[in-house]
């Protein structure tokens, strides 16, 4: 079994030193789903708090930029692109977040953070209509670049 990367010789958590790695182009896409009733979906255009999908998009972008502040051992990355798409469906809102960088480490956590916070924002802006709304299926769809290569779910 290989040695854990996020622990030092004493077993204490540490940030991995990526200083010796070459900066390469890296991308990631992540998914989340916000399950809600057809009644809540139908009321989105007249939501008293404003447009949940527009606010969720901005919240997701902001969250990606703050990932290192939220997840202790993540590196601060120079993001070259972040986007959050929201797609209404019959039983909820699908969220797809994309992040890109040219850096020494991957951008998966930024995409996952963007998708998660966008989903939480949709919940926050619609919870007054129904407390049974669920956030489901947060996962990485794909990533490119880096030593471990490409991944596609």
Domain region containing 100 = 24-147
CA 9 to CA 135: how far, in whole Å?
38
> Can you tell me which residue has the tokens 């890296």?
26
Q: Is 124 considered catalytic here?
A: yes
Is 6 domain-assigned?
Answer: no
Q: What is the CATH number of the domain that holds 143?
A: 3.30.70.640
Structure-token pair, residue 57: 């998009």
pLDDT one-digit tens code per residue, 57-108: 999 999 999 999 999 889 999 999 999 999 999 999 999 999 999 999 989 9
Q: Are 107 and 77 in contact (CB under 8 A)?
A: yes
pLDDT one-digit tens code per residue, 13-66: 666 767 667 889 999 999 999 999 999 999 999 998 899 999 999 999 999 999
Beta bridge partners of 25: 102
> Considering the entire predicted model, what is its pTM?
0.90
User: Looking at 51, 124, 137, 150, which residue is catalytic?
Assistant: 124
Q: Are 111 and 84 in contact (CB under 8 A)?
A: no
Is 69 domain-assigned?
Answer: yes
């Amino acid at each position: 079994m290989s040695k854990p990367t996020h622990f030092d010789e004493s077993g204490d958590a540490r940030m991995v030193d990526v200083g010796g790695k070459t900066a390469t182009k890296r991308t990631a896409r992540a998914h989340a789903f916000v399950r809600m009733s057809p009644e809540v979906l139908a009321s989105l255009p007249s939501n008293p708090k404003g447009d949940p999908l527009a606010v969720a998009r901005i919240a997701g972008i902001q969250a990606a930029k703050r990932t290192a502040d939220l997840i202790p051992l993540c590196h601060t990355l120079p993001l070259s692109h972040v986007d959050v798409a929201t797609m209404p469906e019959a039983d909820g809102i699908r969220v797809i977040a994309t992040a890109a960088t040219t850096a020494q480490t991957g951008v998966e956590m930024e995409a996952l953070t963007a998708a998660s916070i966008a989903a939480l924002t949709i919940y926050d802006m619609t919870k007054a209509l129904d407390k049974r709304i669920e956030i489901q299926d947060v996962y990485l769809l794909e990533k490119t670049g880096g030593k471990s290569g490409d991944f596609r779910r």
